[in-house]
Amino acid sequence: MIRLKLLLPDSDLHHMKMINQTQISEFLLLGFSEDPALQPLIFGLFLSIYLVTISGNLLIVLAILSDQHLHTPMYFFLTNLSMVDICFTSTTIPKMLVNIQTQNRAISYAACITQMFFFILFVGLDDFLLTVMAYDRLAAICHPLHYIAIMTPQLCVQLVLMCWVTAISLFYGTGLGVYLSVSAAPSSASTAAASVMYTVVTPMLNPFIYSLRNTDMKRALKRLLFHK
């Protein structure tokens, strides 16, 4: 066996050590537009979306908790979905708003990794909760006489816990399109638009899709808001 030893001057060795020790300290986030005139409009748009998402999902949680008639498996899962949606949007939109307001697109390496961790965590929870909600409706429709026996409180808690141990075509369609389009025909504008659809718009629409069209939820919200 022949062993080769590379001999380099001290200056070259020092230079190589410096290169090896180079670390990424921050990333630059892509914006929707660099036009200063559009920044207030973009800021107002995303701030409005964030406030609607937070207030809508929070109202759902408070309405369900305040109404004894809604203490059922379906609304138990819906409460958890609303809470996850609040956390989901809070991992990205506040940082986006700060970047727009300060005109600083930088994010530190540690902050980026932390954001990605919680983003993936809450995306997974969202998917599992939607799956559990589908199972709950399946049991209610196909086995109505045995529904109470099947969906016991213990099982509901276990299903939610299982969702933590770490789905909608809008999310998967646009999300998959983002990553496939990167290698095919990269476009920052189309990528950003698709990302907004599944990270911002979807959580905002969940209260309207799963709750506000429900008669019981409307009744509970009226009691919560108007004390009727």
Residue 181 identity? S
CA distance 40 to 36: 8
pLDDT tens column, 112-146: 888 888 888 888 888 888 888 888 888 888 888 88
Residue 6 lies in a domain: no
pTM check: above 0.75: no
Has residue 124 been placed in a domain? Answer: yes
- CA distance from start to end of the chain: 88
Given a contact cutoff of 8 angstroms between Cβ atoms, the answer to whether 137 and 214 are in contact is no
d(CA 178, CA 194): 7
Task: Determine the 3-state secondary structure of 106 from DSSP.
Answer: strand
Domain count, the chain: 1
- The radius of gyration of the chain from alpha carbons, rounded to an integer in Å, stands at 24
Q: In this predicted structure, what is the pLDDT of residue 4?
A: 38
Closest residue by Cα to residue 25 from 113, 117, 119: 113
Instruction: Report, as ranges of residue numbers, the positions in the chain whose pLDDT lies below 50.
Output: 1-8, 12-13, 16, 19, 167-168, 184-186
| Residue 23 lies inside a defined structural domain of this protein | no
Query: Rounded distance, CA 65 to CA 80, Å?
Result: 11
Pairing of strands 106-108, 26-28: antiparallel
pLDDT for residue 54:
92
The answer to the question of residue 118 being in a domain is yes
Q: Indicate the length of the chain as a whole number.
A: 228
The answer to the question of residue 19 being in a domain is no
Q: What integer pLDDT is reported at residue 167 of this predicted model?
A: 42
Establish if 25 belongs to a structural domain.
Answer: no
Tally of CA atoms within 13 A in the half-sphere of 39 that contains its CB: 15
**Which range marks the domain in which residue 166 is found?**
37-226
Is 21 contained in some domain? Answer: no
Instruction: Report the pLDDT value the prediction gives residue 51, as an integer from 0 to 100.
Output: 92
CATH number at residue 160: 1.20.1070.10
Residue 3 belongs to a domain:
no
Closest CA to 63 of 211, 210, 208: 211
Other Cβ atoms less than 10 A from the Cβ of 34: the count is 9
The DSSP element (H or E) to which 214 belongs, if any, is none
Per 3-state DSSP, the chain is made up of helix, strand and coil in percentages (nearest 5) of: 80, 5, 20
The CA–CA distances, whole Å, from 32 to 177, 181, 190, 192, 195 equal 18, 17, 10, 7, 11
Per-residue pLDDT at 202:
72
